Amino acid sequence: MTVSPHGEATRTGPDKTTLLFAAVLPLLSVLDVLIFSHVNLEALGVRVLWAGELVLSAFLVTRLSGWSRRLFFLANSAIGSVFYLAVVACTGDVDSPYVHMVMCLPLLVAIVYPEEAGAAIVSGVVCMLGIGTLVVLTGHPPAQAIAWASLVAMTSFFGVAGSTQFRRALEARNEARLERTRREAAEKLAGTLAAQALSERLATVGRLTAGVMHEINNPLAFVHANLRFLQEELRAQRLSSEAHVELEQVLAETRSGVERVQQIVLDLKGFSRRDTEESTACALTDVVADAVRLAAVRLKHRVHVKVELPPGLPPVLATPRRLVQVLLNLLVNAGDAIEESGREPGQILVRGEARGQRVVLFVEDNGPGFPPEVLPRLFETFFTTKGPEKGTGLGLVISRELLEHCGATLTAENREEGGARLRIEWPAHDQAAGTLSG
Ligand code: ADP
């Protein structure tokens, strides 16, 4: 059974309960044998006819909807009641052992057609008229007919009340379902719009970064050249050795500082370039070094990053810049968590392992780890504990997506000794290539 948006129940196939009742109905003649010690052929005939009508209606009801369906319920409850009264008439009128069920008939109809309160009323009216007529025709006093009719009216009332309640509950449930669907659609739309706005903002930031990097790079180049010139000039001057050494040292330090800034600019320029590369086999050593260097700008001196990659680690299938983005995100997340917890000294370990043909890369920190309520939601879009200013809740989702693109997986867990562990796992190289081509 399905429910239409208007709270109307519609059955998708023939109603099995009705078919079952139709099959059992003629068999009820066994009761006649037990009660009257012989088969009551008239009652059997009525039951067979009734069963036929039920089979027809079980199929017919599937083609109806709206008003025709409601009318069908009303007509069917009247027909069912007439058939029952006919069985009563065939088995002894008012003295029939089945007569007592006449009172309950409207209630039964209300149970069979709970969505249609009118069905119980129709059945009640038919039963009242039917039983009243039987009582009067069989010579009983009219007061008895009135008593019977009153009892039937009472059960009809309860039947109608039950049906009304059922209908209200059905409507409330459908309304709640519709409301939930509407809300989910609205949330989805809001999420999509927010993601779109964010990606537009990030694209603008990327373009701005590329421009700013270009502007910084030019003055840096001549600052660097001038420093080299000064160093050479200094060597040509005949200064006292102490002053000379000191000046040399200052110039060397300044030059290395400028070179570091140049490297950062270079990295950022590379990072913000549009990425259309296909996955290739790449050495983790280079990628990890790039990511750690970029992250150092943010982690500053608060967190110490250690890298442990065994020399024979096989290359992995990835887009180097995307992998740098993923690692950068994991390192910054670890740094944020450590900073927030105030733990000192903060430590992050980037550790690689070859497990047979597979390669696993761990990013572990000694921060607070994932609280139990956060762990299952880590990869939910827009899930963040950092507040709107700092977090977007997209880092881990995007990271996982980027890694899946090259056949790798990203999972998170808490370390036994405390802190978080993010784990990137590449399948054996051939398998990953298969994933990509598939
Ligand atoms: P965002 O960084 O914008 O919050 P992410 O998807 O990158 O989005 O991270 C989702 C959440 O996962 C973070 O808000 C934080 O609560 C949690 N998280 C991520 N990395 C760590 C970590 N190393 N330690 C503790 N919590 C973390």
What digits encode the pLDDT tens for the residues 233-277?
A: 888 876 667 777 788 888 888 888 888 788 777 767 766 665 556
Classify residue 214 by burial, with Cβ atoms within 10 Å: 0-12, 13-18, 19+.
Answer: exposed
Would you say the CB of residue 334 lies under 6 angstroms from ligand 1?
yes
Grade residue 62 by pLDDT with cuts at 50, 70 and 90. Answer: confident
| Burial letters 11-38, b for 16+ CB under 10 A, else e | beeebeebbebbeebbeebeebeeeeee
- Ligand 1: nearest atom to the Cα of 334: 23
Closest atom of ligand 1 to CA, residue 374: 16
Q: 371: which 2 tokens?
A: 């609280």
Domain range holding 206?
Answer: 199-273
Percent pLDDT > 90 in the chain is 39
2-3/316-318 β-pairing: unpaired
401 lies in the same domain as 266: no
Ligand 1 centre and the CA of 333: distance in Å? Answer: 5
Mean pLDDT of 81-106: 91
CATH number of the domain enclosing 322:
3.30.565.10
pLDDT confidence band for 7 (50 / 70 / 90): very low
pLDDT score of 5:
40
- The pLDDT confidence band at residue 360, using thresholds 50, 70 and 90, is very high
- 352 and 310 fall within a common domain: yes
Same domain for 176 and 223: no
| The pLDDT value given to residue 377 | 93
- 265-294 in b/e burial notation, b at 16+ Cβ within 10 A? bebbbebbeeeeeebeebebeebbebbbbb
pTM of the model: 0.52
Out of 126, 149, 184, pick the residue that ends a domain: 184
Residue with CA nearest ligand 1 atom 7: 395
pLDDT winner (highest mean) among 8-12, 183-187, 274-278: 183-187
Q: Which atom of ligand 1 is nearest to the CA of 333?
A: 20
Out of 126, 159, 184, pick the residue that ends a domain. Answer: 184
Ligand 1 binding pocket includes 414 (Cβ within 6 Å): no
Please check whether residues 166 and 259 belong to one and the same domain: no
Q: What is the mean pLDDT of residues 19-46?
A: 91
Look up residue 400 and give its two tokens. 């996982």
| Mean pLDDT over each residue of the chain, to the nearest integer | 85
**What are residue 349's DSSP bridge partners?**
306, 364
374 lines ligand 1 (CB under 6 A): yes
Say how many C-beta atoms besides its own lie within 10 A of residue 119's C-beta. Answer: 28
Substitution candidate for ligand 1 out of 202, 325, 330, 333 with most atoms within 8 A of CB: 333
Within this chain, do residues 266 and 117 fall inside the same structural domain, yes or no?
Answer: no
Q: How far apart are CA 384 and CA 373, in angstroms?
A: 12
**Cα–ligand 1 centroid distance for 71 (angstroms):** 60
Q: Are strands 346-355 and 303-308 parallel, antiparallel or unpaired?
A: parallel
Name the residue with higher pLDDT: 330 or 405. 330
CB of residue 386 inside a 6 A radius of ligand 1: yes
Interatomic CA distance for residues 423 and 362, integer angstroms: 5
Residue 324 DSSP SS3: helix
* pLDDT confidence of residue 430: 54
Query: pLDDT tens digits for 153-167?
Result: 998 898 888 888 888
Q: Is 337 in the pocket of ligand 1 (CB under 6 A)?
A: yes
Rounded Cα distance, 362 and 352, in Å: 6
